[in-house]
Chains A and B, each alone.
Chain A
């Protein structure tokens, strides 16, 4: 036998593989959510650090091929009135919160449907002696795996795409509201990972806790 181990992680992974299409669409959606959050929060960071962003702290922004150096192109940041600055920040915060909520509900929905479809399987696992906690762990592992892969995708593919789009918009005209140099320090990268993991595991937990805890006999009678 080539594979000598089989554990909870292999179980979760095999299920994600089997449900490939749904896993892929969830990963794409969560990636877009996280990438958008990265964009808005990098702009917020940019505004918080020296109004226009500290170029030294930028992890990605300065290195994107084809992107303009917003800091030198638009020095308008120095002239923004406090009110305009505040409203922009509120707008960014509000959009981030909304996007976070959308991501949360997408993940919740995916896991809730998955649990509904797998009621019988959950009943079998419980009959075989797995506790409610252990079955929950399987789902949380799946949620965490989806979250982690989505974060990687968001970081390495989504962010550069969105930032390029931002610079393209800026190039279209000096009237653009985008005069802030996005800043992406390491803290933001780590923070985004924590937020993604929290989003995926908390939504999974809420979606699955009740069905997983119901009677194994009732669940095994389910025919889907």
Chain B
């Protein structure tokens, strides 16, 4: 089902939350288009609706009004079961507070999204952890890992299903600047391999290396930077060579 829309299309989305007796409008008629293979930094003050927007695109939450269309599929109209399947197959989430399961080792955490699969891809989990530089830490529980290491585990976990979209909510918000720089380089690398990256961030380090920056305020876009021509050519070349996933699958 292709409606001739962008890869990700957010149309007139309104989302309100009830906080006590009052209602907070997190997204106020939000309109946005994101192309496949883009690396977008969503910027804006706290309360601008960045996280809510990520949750909508990732199928974690549904809008009160408007629609969210990903790859021609209107995810805002899916039921919870279908949305869970959509998340599992298409989206990798990375959070500010890592959100690892404390009782599991790094390797087990990476395998969590696929634990109900008939044959969980154990080797792929090992490869992903090696790729993020944690080959010696696979059997450590999160309590014995540093902030940066935990975020790397979370990145490996987000990639276990080889998603086309990676959503990161303040990915560098809880780690030191040196590690943040490494994490952003890793994001850039993933983007080069074809992943569409969308990051909600306050961090200039992240936005500086993004391909597009969308500024938000009070639940709508105030300014969006157009993607560079160079980027589109780059994506076309890569698709022609067919080498998008080579590195991850090693």
The residues of A with any CB-CB pair to B shorter than 8 Å are 1, 4-8, 10-11, 14-15, 17-18, 120-121, 124-134, 137, 213, 215-217, 220
A-side contacts of B89, CB under 8 Å: 129
The reply to whether B112 and A125 form a contact with Cβ atoms under 8 Å apart is yes
Distance of B144 from chain A, by nearest CB (Å): 14
Complex Cα distance, B120 from A129, in Å, reads 14
Question: Which of A18, A120, A213, A216 interacts with B103 by CB under 8 Å?
Answer: A18
Minimum Cβ distance to chain A for residue B157 (Å): 7
User: Would B115 and A7 count as touching, CB distance under 8 A?
Assistant: yes
Select which of A6, A121, A130 is within 8 A of B111 by beta carbon: A6
Chain A residues near B85: list those with CB within 8 A.
129, 131
The answer, yes or no, to whether B102 is at the interface (CB within 8 Å) is: yes
Which of chain B's residues have a CB closer than 8 A to the CB of A137?
116
Contact of A127 (CB < 8 Å), options: B93, B102, B115, B120? B93
| A217 contacts B99, C-beta separation under 8 Å | no
- Quote the shortest CB–CB distance from B121 to chain A (angstroms): 10
A-B contacts, CB under 8 A, total: 81
In residues 100-141 of chain B, which contact A (Cβ within 8 Å)? 101-104, 107-108, 111-113, 115-116, 120, 122, 126, 138
Scoring B85, B103, B108, B161 by chain A CB atoms within 10 A of each residue's CB, the highest score goes to: B103
Decide if B60 touches A1 in the complex (CB within 8 Å): no
B4 at the interface (CB under 8 A from A): no
- Which of A11, A128, A129, A130 has most B Cβ within 10 Å? A129
The answer to whether B161 and A6 have CB atoms under 8 Å apart is: no
- Knowing A1-B138, A127-B60, A216-B60, say if A132 contacts B115 (CB, 8 Å): no
Q: Is the CB of B112 within 8 A of A14?
A: no
Q: Mark B53-94, 1 if CB is under 8 A from A, else 0.
A: 001001011000000000000000000110011011101010
Known: A4-B122, A18-B102, A217-B55. A130 touches B157 (CB 8 A): no
Query: Is A121 in contact with B87, judged by CB distance below 8 angstroms?
Result: no
Q: Which residues of A contact B126 (CB under 8 A)?
A: 1
Q: Which residues of B contact A129 (CB under 8 A)?
A: 84-85, 87-89, 91, 113, 161
Contact B115 A126 (CB under 8 A): no
| Closest B residue, CB atoms, query A129 | B88
Name which residue of chain A comes closest to B58, CB basis: A127
